[in-house]
Amino acid sequence: MPSPRDTSASPDARLDAKSRRDLLHGSLDVLVLSVLADGPQYGYAIQRKLRDAGDHDVKAGTLYPLLHRMEQDGLVTPSWEKTTGRPRKWYALSPTGQKRLTTRAADWQALLARMQAVVLPALRQVAAYPELPRASQPSTP
C-alpha cells in the first residue's frame, strides 16, 4: 500500500492510502479488542493478526500508545510473562473491555447498515448509468 507521503505514487493512490489509514484509525480500538477476545496476546502478535486480517500494517508507534490508553481505561489487563526467553507484556480483555467491545461492535454494525443503505444504491446507480457525469468531470450542457 503506498504511503500518503510517497511522492512517487499517483495522487489517487496517495489519497486512497490516506483514506484507508483514516478509516482504520477510527476503528483500531474495536479491532484490537476483537483480537483480544480470542485470548491474551502480546503487542507484536496483535500487530501481526491485524496485518494478516487486511492490507493495513499498524505501526508499533500507533499500537502501543493505544494499548497503553486501553490499559489506563481498564479495557485491557496487562501481565508480564517470560515464555520465549525474554519478558513480554501480554494484554487480556478485561470485563470492561468486553462490554466496550460489545457496544462498539454494535455501533459498527449499525453504522455499516446505514452506510450500506446509502452507498449500495449509489453504486447500483453508477453501474447502471456509467455515462453519468461525475463530480471530478465537468458536465457538458
96-129: pLDDT as tens digits: 999 999 999 999 899 889 988 898 888 888 887 7
Residues 56-111 pLDDT 10s: 788 899 999 999 999 999 999 999 988 777 889 999 999 999 999 999 999 989 98
Cα separation of 50 and 64, whole Å? 13
Q: With 70 as the cut, is the pLDDT of residue 138 above it?
A: no
Would you list the domain boundaries of the chain?
A: 12-128
Whole-model pTM: value is 0.71
CB atoms within 10 A of CB 70: 23
Residues 13-32 pLDDT 10s: 655 767 766 666 678 899 99
- The CATH classification of domain 12-128, taken from the options 3.40.50.970, 1.10.10.10, 3.40.50.300, 3.40.1280.10: 1.10.10.10
Element (H, E) at 15: helix 11-36
